[in-house]
Structure 1
Amino acid sequence: MGKVVLARVDSRLIHGQVATNVSKSVGANALFVVDDVSAHDEFTKNIILGAASRTGYKIRVLKEDGAIRYWQDRQYDDFNVMLITKSIEVMHKIIKGGVPVENLNLGGIPQSPGTTPVISQVAITQAQLDLLVDLQTCYPNMNIFFQATPSLKKVTLAEAVKLFS
């Protein structure tokens, strides 16, 4: 049976930091990108597969429902998976769909109107914070944290909640 060693929300999906520092720090041997747009677009999918192919990891580009089905049907085989989505909303859907996650890392969400910065690389809306709090409530042992790379300071969900008070 496989395991999600880290779930990460990063708007850039796979990039240098993810492919090297973050994935190695958690012992991943597979990177599963979950993004409906990328999974439906062969050009984008091929760019992701090509960029990640140099890592030596097993790479999959999955649709949102496909990520849930793959877990239900095969428990991600024997892979130690780093699961990557562009948004909190998609990650919430996957986790609520039954994919077990112990560690959820918010690592790269650019600031935009209506967002509040939690760390310099991550800014979220109140609605996104509510989804994270929902996950923490439903899965109290889940470690939800904000951190761009393993060498930087972690900010907990509890600390992020205070920023919105």
Structure 2
Amino acid sequence: MPNILATRIDNRLIHGQVGVTWVNHIGANLILVADDVVANDNIQQSLMDMAAPNTVDTRYFTIQETIDKIHFAADDQLIFLVVRTPQNVLKLVEGGVPIKKVNIGNMHFSEGKKQITSTVSIDEDDAKILRKLHELGVELEIRRVPDERSKDILEFI
């Protein structure tokens, strides 16, 4: 069983909050970004590597690669799994990745989305996917930084 310490939805993927604050808070030694675009973009990977502490390894896998490889993680890999969208979390869960809880940190506002907190905006598809994840037994919290009180997303959808 892989040691997934935390899973976070953040459409910025690795940045200061993820690379320093969350990694230190949970004690991760590996940030795994599961994202089909970034997995094939060396420039984005290099930029994200700059935001990660040099004491932490980074991996960039597609969603399918994550499903295929996560169960081969070494016992000493303490994984912080970061994804861009709830849709990707659902694909991972349905693919057998053992995700029990998801921290929703940042989902940008865009046309057709409703802002539900200062950093999280969702549309109907997002709400449907989040409800489905809840039905599958995944705990869902909104929390930007570790010292902030978490909010149950079900209060908003």
**TM-score (norm. length: structure 1):** 0.87
Deviation at 1:50, TM superposition (A): 3.6
Amino acid corresponding to residue 104 of structure 2 in structure 1: L
Q: Which residue of 2 aligns with 1:83?
A: 81
**Deviation (angstroms), 1:45:** 2.0
2:42 maps to amino acid: E
CA–CA distance in structure 2, aligned partners of residues 23 and 160 of structure 1: 27
Q: Percent identity?
A: 26
State the Cα distance separating 1:67 from its structure 2 match.
Answer: 0.5
2:40 & 2:2 partners in 1: Cα distance? 25
CA offsets per residue over residues 78-134 of structure 1, 9 Å max, x none?
A: 212110011111121111111011220110111112112221011111111111111
Count of residue pairs the alignment pairs up: 156
For 1:102-141, list aligned pairs within 5 A: 102-139=100-137
Cα distance in 2 for partners of 1:47, 1:107 equals 20
5+ residue gaps, structure 1, are: none
Paired amino acid for 2:117? I
Q: TM-score, normalised by structure 2?
A: 0.91
Counterpart code for 1:60? R
Render the CA deviation track for 1:48-98: whole Å, top value 9, x for unaligned: 23432x3411210111111001124x1x22212110011111121111111
**Shift of residue 29 of structure 1?**
1.6
Report the Cα offset of residue 39 of structure 1.
Answer: 1.2
**Structure 1: how far apart are the matches of 2:54 and 2:17?**
11
Q: What is the RMSD computed on CA atoms of the aligned residues?
A: 1.5
Q: Is the 8 A contact 2:34 2:62 kept in 1?
A: yes
Runs of 5+ unmatched residues, structure 2: none
| Counterpart Cα distance in 2 of 1:22 and 1:51 | 12
2:68 maps to which residue? 69
- Is 2:148 aligned against 1:149? no
Counterpart contact for 2:16–2:51, Cα < 8 Å: no
Output the amino acid matched with 2:152: T
4+ residue runs over 3 A deviation: none
d(CA) in 1 for partners of 2:151 and 2:95? Answer: 26
**2:45 matched residue in structure 1:** 45
